[in-house]
Structure 1
Amino acid sequence: MARRPARCLRPVFSQLSYKATREWKEEIVFFDPTLPRPATVLRFPDGSPATLAPDADPRDAFAEWLLRPDNPAFARALANRLWAWLLGRGIVQPVDDFRPDNPPANAALLDHLAATLVASHYDLRALLREILTSQTYQRSSLAPTDDPCAEAHFAFYAPRRLDAEVLIDALNQITGTHESYTSAIPEPFTFIPAEQRAIALPDGSITSGFLEKFGRPARDTGEAAERTSTVTAAQRLHLLNSTHVQRKLEQGPALAALLRRPQPVDELFLTFLARPPTAAERAVVTAHLRASKPPRRAALDVAWALVNSAEFLHQH
């Protein structure tokens, strides 16, 4: 049974050829009608047939089957991915592990999201709006109970660490710095403009030590599990005492301009945490700024502490 989808779909991709482009490591995949086709009648994984014309691209027939309203598999998988992207956990978890003995935490919810996606003709904005305006998405990140099942049933918004790209983009924006990127595959176009964000890197092979350390995937597969979100000791040490972060904080022009202000407490909290400090936080920070250290050094201490705070590092 596990091999059946591959056998069924082999004719769909049997007439594909490749041609080179001016980019030496890039190829274009195209339908080649001159190649022999194993069959003119396709059998999809659910057993339904499709008869192909001699010059028809079998991928068109596969796409039509995939998006049929009576074939919910694709809609359920896509809805589950979007839900997991927004809430940090899939209704089916792990996100790509759809099988009979791994049922969804809430089957009715997954069916509703899939039906919404089909009814909107796969309008992703419509589905995102449905999720983002829900009470589930808007729940507090404070767990209302110690029940271990609460997270799996979305009783609260489970905090999770920012993705590697989002985290380095935030650090760069706050400090006014940028990253240097390299590629494990030798290529002439590794240069990335300073204003380009890591979330917009077009090639999985273009990376940095920070992105690799914090779990950005190489994009070798389409599986969501390829991204590593586990917090490691190396990540904590990098944020606490690396010269990489130190240089951003000490030499970043945007942060330097903020630190030159006579009373930077509110600005620091608004910049890093998007909120003013509480009375207790203000008292601690003000006392530290008035200590014997030079004012700029003391303010840098505060900035570094905020970078390492759970509130800054997590989506909550």
Structure 2
Amino acid sequence: MRRQRMIARCVRSVRLGILVAFAGIALAEPARAQAPLHERIDAMLESAHPAQPAPLASDAEFVRRIYLDLIGTIPTADEARQFIDDQSPDKREKLIDRLLASPEFTRHMTTVLDVMWMERRPDKHVKTDEWRAYLHAAIAANRPLNELVREILAADGVDDALRPAAKFYLDREGEPNLLTRDVGRMFFGMDLQCAQCHDHPFDRWTQREFYQLAAFVGGEMTRLPGRLPKNMQANSQIPQPLNQGSLYKELDIGMREGRMARRIVRLNRSAVWEHPFKKLKYPHDYAYDDAKPGDFVEPKGIFGSMPSLSKGKTRREAFAEWMTSTENPRFTMTIANRMWKRAFGVGLIEPMDDLRDDTQASNPELMTFLASEMKRVDYDLKEFLRIIYNTQAYQRQVTYDELKPNEPYHFPGPILRRMTAEQVWDSLLALTLEDPNQYLRPSDKEYLQIVAVDPKTVTAKSLIDKAEEEQDWRTEENKDRRKFLYKGQLLARASELPQPLPDGHFLRQFGQSDRQIIAAGNTEGTVPQILTMFNGPVTHMMLENGSVLYNEVTACKNAEDATEVIFLSILNRPPYSRDRAMTVKEI
């Protein structure tokens, strides 16, 4: 009975600890950065603003922060204990290297880039799982970011291997104005929306320049024609069409197999292709004297060297090369600023997606240096992050002061941040499951092979066979998923779950982005969050027999040991004296 009472009291203490921990702080500290690059960043911050920097954070703060920032979850009690007890002077550098090389980093960064680039787009042409599998493979291979973005913007979706990359265009339906606005925000840090309708009132961009940029993607189609008109048949840049009309005549829409087969046809008609006779025109209400309404727009870059529109290259391909070129100042600066903000909670340039000609970074010398380093490492994301996370600036204690509007932040340390919805979810799984990576989304390679058809040989019968094969694949996938359900919720890391989730899901309750706009997630506290932490299904499962936390706490011989486990598991630090006194008394 006494042991059962101790367990019950431990459970109450754990509930309280969870609420405190996931009101949510991600903190940090360093073993002095050794590389000159890290020291140069610290020196630039100190020389520009010699005010007293924050003290170095403790080992416990650092290990919690670096896990959250690089792999999106807190460390286990054993991982925290091992790091804190390690006396090696270079243990922080080694931990950063280990986390960057881990599969968890790849999964976490897949989610980061997915949310950053796709927002909330329907799976109209390319499944989200296909797209995320493509991103995952690219990050796992550590492909240069500029090369990855170039491929995403240039992919046409015809090549099976690159079909997922075309989601950026396809699921925006090739709409030139939308694509121009999104590319401006995501990759140039520019808000071009005003310039779509008139000259920008607060920046130098004109409506003509907006349309010149949009002309690179104007005239792009997202559906292959059923058959090519005679005057287009000799154009080698247009993919082989799929004769939808004749196939549909043979497929009975009233039959389940027929409807499924028609969906296979639609999937294989999705591709980005440049219509040779369709070009973007200035709008009918164009009011400036530098062009006439209805005139064709000639594509033109708006800064840096001009795109090369050579023979055999589509406008879209020329645009992708120009946009990701090392000569394009905005692209490199925007990526570097976004990655800096991920580490510190605030960018050197704020707001991130409203960069103007007169915008000043809070530390111009450092912003220039980071952009040059991004080029020097050849857009190697891991290497760039390694430089940032090894700085003393990152490894200092957080600052608690509220950021003041229109006042620059001088980085005495990272700012205090609540954990994101994804970090809270993944951390709860770490407290619950022995292997939080037990469920991984199945590879889409098999699915793509099932649905792919050859336009030259496809028949109605082969389409029905493929539709049945696809249905069998989906049935097996759903059967496998059901093994990992708990009270209707799939117990998988946030990177393995559908994005975005329904409104009632834990992740949405805690502020997961609805993906209507870039970076729409929030970390605001709410009453439903508190109720969910007390009574939600994941919290209940975490406190049930068999969970990691339950097993470790009940294995303790006394209240002192149980207190140690609770604090290391949830807060990733040993309990202070006052913590011990309070918890032991409660237990």
Give the TM-score category using the shorter length.
0.7 to 0.9
Q: Give RMSD over aligned pairs.
A: 3.5
**Matching residue's letter, 1:201:** L
Q: Distance in 2 between matches of 1:98 and 1:115?
A: 18
Pairing partner for 1:230 from 509, 521, 524 = 524
Deviation track 1:240-281 (CA, whole Å, cap 9, x = no partner) reads: x33335423432622321232233221111211222212221
Matched, 1:30 2:272: yes
**Matching residue's letter, 1:10:** A
Partner residue of 2:544?
Answer: 251
Report if aligned partners of 1:165, 1:211 keep a CA contact under 8 Å in 2: yes
Q: SS at the partner of 2:317? A: helix
Pairing partner for 2:511 from 212, 215, 218 = 215
Partner residue of 1:304?
Answer: none
Q: SS at the partner of 2:216? A: helix
Closer, same or farther: CA 146–228 of 1 in aligned 2, 3 Å: closer
Report if aligned partners of 2:348, 2:361 keep a CA contact under 8 Å in 1: yes
Gaps of 5+ in 1: 179-187, 290-316
Q: Distance in 2 between matches of 1:45 and 1:140?
A: 42
Partner residue of 1:307?
Answer: none
The Cα shift of 1:198 comes to 0.8
Q: TM-score scaled by structure 2? A: 0.42
Matches within 5 A, 1:68-217: 68-100=325-357, 102-142=359-399, 152-176=409-433, 194=490, 196-201=492-497, 203-204=499-500, 209-217=505-513
The Cα shift of 1:27 comes to 8.3
Partner residue of 1:63?
Answer: 320
Q: Distance in 1 between matches of 2:390 and 2:208?
A: 40
**Matching residue's letter, 1:99:** R
User: After the TM superposition, which of the residue ranges 81-90 and 103-112 deviates more from structure 2?
Assistant: 103-112
Q: Distance in 2 between matches of 1:135 and 1:27?
A: 53
Report if aligned partners of 1:175, 1:248 keep a CA contact under 8 Å in 2: yes
Pairing partner for 1:270 from 568, 575, 579 = 568
Instruction: Work out which structure has the larger RCO, using CA pairs closer than 8 Å and 6 or more positions apart in sequence.
Output: 2
Closer, same or farther: CA 244–94 of 1 in aligned 2, 3 Å: farther
Q: Distance in 2 between matches of 1:56 and 1:40?
A: 18
Higher helix proportion: 2
Q: Distance in 1 between matches of 2:514 and 2:277?
A: 32
Q: SS at the partner of 1:69? A: coil
Report if aligned partners of 1:40, 1:54 keep a CA contact under 8 Å in 2: no
Q: SS at the partner of 1:211? A: helix
Q: Distance in 2 between matches of 1:146 and 1:68?
A: 37
Matched, 1:11 2:268: no
Q: Distance in 1 between matches of 2:316 and 2:569?
A: 49
Closer, same or farther: CA 120–31 of 1 in aligned 2, 3 Å: farther
The Cα shift of 1:197 comes to 0.7
Q: Distance in 1 between matches of 2:352 and 2:210?
A: 21
Give the total of aligned pairs. Answer: 277
The Cα shift of 1:135 comes to 1.7
Partner residue of 1:287?
Answer: 585
Q: SS at the partner of 2:221? A: strand
Closer, same or farther: CA 142–105 of 1 in aligned 2, 3 Å: closer
Closer, same or farther: CA 91–15 of 1 in aligned 2, 3 Å: same
Q: Distance in 2 between matches of 1:287 and 1:235?
A: 28
User: After the TM superposition, which of the residue ranges 55-64 and 197-206 deviates more from structure 2?
Assistant: 197-206
Identity of aligned residues (%): 26
Report if aligned partners of 2:304, 2:327 keep a CA contact under 8 Å in 1: no
The Cα shift of 1:101 comes to 5.4
Report if aligned partners of 2:336, 2:371 keep a CA contact under 8 Å in 1: yes
**Matching residue's letter, 1:135:** Q
Q: Distance in 1 between matches of 2:531 and 2:305?
A: 55
The Cα shift of 1:288 comes to 0.9
Partner residue of 2:187?
Answer: none
User: After the TM superposition, which of the residue ranges 39-48 and 89-98 deviates more from structure 2?
Assistant: 39-48
The Cα shift of 1:82 comes to 0.7
Higher strand proportion: 1
Structure having the higher Rg: 2
Q: SS at the partner of 2:543? A: helix
Q: Distance in 1 between matches of 2:403 and 2:509?
A: 33
**Matching residue's letter, 2:575:** P
User: After the TM superposition, which of the residue ranges 80-89 and 145-154 deviates more from structure 2?
Assistant: 145-154
Report if aligned partners of 1:81, 1:95 keep a CA contact under 8 Å in 2: yes
**Matching residue's letter, 1:9:** L
User: After the TM superposition, which of the residue ranges 248-257 and 120-129 deviates more from structure 2?
Assistant: 248-257
User: After the TM superposition, which of the residue ranges 159-168 and 101-110 deviates more from structure 2?
Assistant: 101-110
The Cα shift of 1:5 comes to 4.8
